[in-house]
């Protein structure tokens, strides 16, 4: 009997293959497959609908409370730089320095780099 997938979080491609084979080729019902593999029947339904795990999709953008007030300014700096030659466009370090000098930004540079 296959190992139980209960409590293991994300299912991998092999799990999908085993469940799909049991339901679609062996003719096992979704409920019976759920019992056999120790997973929720809704998960079996998803596995039979999709051939591979769907992965995580963000429902909303990440919150950046320190950086969000400056996003419009950063976007403008980047847009203005598009018309310049590649070597003259702003780097993250230069954008950080401009924000700190022109807007009294009190953040660490990594916040700008990562944001």
CB 47 within 8 A of CB 20: yes
pLDDT on residue 5: 44
Listed as own residue / partner, the contacts of 31-37 with beta carbons closer than 8 Å and 24 or more positions apart are 36/1, 36/2, 37/2, 37/4, 37/5
pLDDT band for position 7 (50/70/90)? Answer: very low
CATH code for the part of the protein at 1-56: 1.10.10
Looking at the whole model, is its pTM more than 0.75?
no
Residue 16 has pLDDT above 70, yes or no: yes
**Residue range 27-54: average pLDDT?**
91
Q: How far apart are CA 92 and CA 102, in angstroms?
A: 15
pLDDT tens digits for range 52-96? 787 778 888 888 888 888 889 999 999 998 888 988 888 888 888
pLDDT band for position 106 (50/70/90)? Answer: confident
**Residue range 98-111: average pLDDT?**
79
pLDDT on residue 23: 94
């Amino acid at each position: 009997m296959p190992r139980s997938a209960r409590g293991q979080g994300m299912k991998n491609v092999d799990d999908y293959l085993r469940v799909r084979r049991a339901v679609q080729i062996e003719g096992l019902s979704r409920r019976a497959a759920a019992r056999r593999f120790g997973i929720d029947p809704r998960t079996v339904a998803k596995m039979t609908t999709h051939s591979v795990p769907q992965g995580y999709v963000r429902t909303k953008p990440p919150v950046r409370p320190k950086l969000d007030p400056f996003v419009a300014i950063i976007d403008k700096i980047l847009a203005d730089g598009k018309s310049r030659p590649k070597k003259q466009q702003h780097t993250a370090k230069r954008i950080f320095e401009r924000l700190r000098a022109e807007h009294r930004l009190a953040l660490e540079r990594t916040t700008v780099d990562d944001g």
